[in-house]
Amino acid sequence: MMTESRLKKILQSGNFAVTAECGPPKGADPEVVRSKGKILKDYTDSVNVTDNQTGVVRLCSLAACALLKADGLDPVLQMVTRDRNRIALQSDVLGASALGIRNILCLSGDHQSFGNQPQAKGVFDIDSIQFVQTVRTMRDAGEVIGGEKLSVPPQMFIGAAANPFADPFEYRAVRLATKVDAGAEFIQTQCIYNLNRFKEWMGLVKDNGLDGKVYILGGITPLKSARMAEYMANNVAGMDVPDEIIKRMKSVPTKEQRQEGIKIALETIQALQAMKGVHGVHIMAIEWEEAVPQIVQDAKLFPRPKG
């Protein structure tokens, strides 16, 4: 089965890409994945499947990607280096490719101490940048780490994450440059609530000559409530939710806060569309996949181009 990455085609054709996130269930029910896929299918180009996010045991991302693939979606396989050593990672990349999965997002992963297995041994045999380089070498040189040849190399459109809001700020662009050198072809960013800081970061990206070298998809997470905004601001590592956003969420009645969250998301998308060097959005509607169709429609990003 020869397939190609829809995400890659969309980005290469110059269209503003829309990806979304699908969190697998804490259980073995494939229908949860399928029904989320059904909601997202027509409104996105590709769908990321998270890999035991926040260190909580969930249905594995590779299996969930295979389920989505079978239903005609273009999955983005998120893989973290927290739980697998280089043998397992490379093996899973080959397996994913064999299943027709064509996109991968290489991550180090949330630390295991945050999840429901805090006594687990964190593997971290390689880090996310080394993982990007590994997949790139597997694909382009047809070699695993150490140089042994693969009979058939994997086909993968290779992505990495970037957090424009984490410290040390100036170094973040250097780190992005290193990720691009390692072989990253697309970047999905941390959720954007602080547009000014994101603009500043995009400035650094341009100054480092990276805007033409990598596709950047801005992260969007619609807020469900003022409480969620506060929680993210105070308790989620690497998240930057400015006070104005929290105030704005608080200023509307609880019942209307979800719609306000969507409004903020739409404004952010609009700002991102106008920003040179931003090639799409990655919508992470956490356990709220139903919000995605409305956001995509209201942002006038529907219908999606045929990939």
Partner 1 sequence: MITAERKPISEIKEMIAPYRKILVVGCGSCVAECASGGEKEVGLLASAIRMDAKASGKDIEVKEMTLDRQCVYEFIDQLNDVIDQYEIILSLGCGAGVQAVAEVFPKVHIVPALNTTFIGQTKEAGLWIENCRGCGDCKLGVFAAVCPVTRCAKGLFNGPCGGSRTDRCEVDPEVPCAWQLIVSRLQDRGRLDLLRKVHPPADWSKQQGKGPRKIYREDQRS
Please report, as ranges, the residues that interact with partner 1 according to CB under 8 A.
82, 86, 108-111, 113-114, 122, 124-130, 133-134, 145, 161-163, 166-168, 171, 174-175, 177-178, 181-182, 190, 237-238
Report the residue number, 137 or 257, with the smaller CB distance to partner 1.
Answer: 137
Could you tell me the CA-to-CA distances from 306 to 10, 42, 76, 177 in Å, in that order?
8, 10, 18, 31
Residues 62, 95 contacting (CB under 8 angstroms):
yes
Report the residue number, 104 or 107, with the smaller CB distance to partner 1.
Answer: 107
Report the residue number, 129 or 285, with the smaller CB distance to partner 1.
Answer: 129
Q: Closest distance between partner 1 and the C-beta of residue 92, in Å?
A: 16
E runs forming strands in the chain: 17-22, 46-49, 75-80, 103-107, 157-162, 186-191, 215-220, 280-283
Could you tell me the CA-to-CA distances from 188 to 148, 150, 194, 278 in Å, in that order?
31, 29, 16, 10
Report the residue number, 27 or 238, with the smaller CB distance to partner 1.
Answer: 238
CA distance 149 to 299: 46
Closest CA to 97 of 77, 126, 78: 77
Report the residue number, 167 or 276, with the smaller CB distance to partner 1.
Answer: 167
Which two structure tokens, joined as six digits, stand for 172?
Answer: 């973040």
Coil, strand, or helix at residue 14? coil
Which two structure tokens, joined as six digits, stand for 161?
Answer: 């994450």
Could you tell me the CA-to-CA distances from 112 to 92, 99, 188, 231 in Å, in that order?
20, 28, 22, 20
Report the residue number, 43 or 201, with the smaller CB distance to partner 1.
Answer: 201
User: How many residues would you count in the chain?
Assistant: 307
- Residue 300 backbone dihedrals phi, psi, to 5 degrees: 60, 35
* Helices vs strands, H then E, count in the chain: 11, 8
The amino acid occupying position 96 is A
Report the residue number, 46 or 188, with the smaller CB distance to partner 1.
Answer: 188
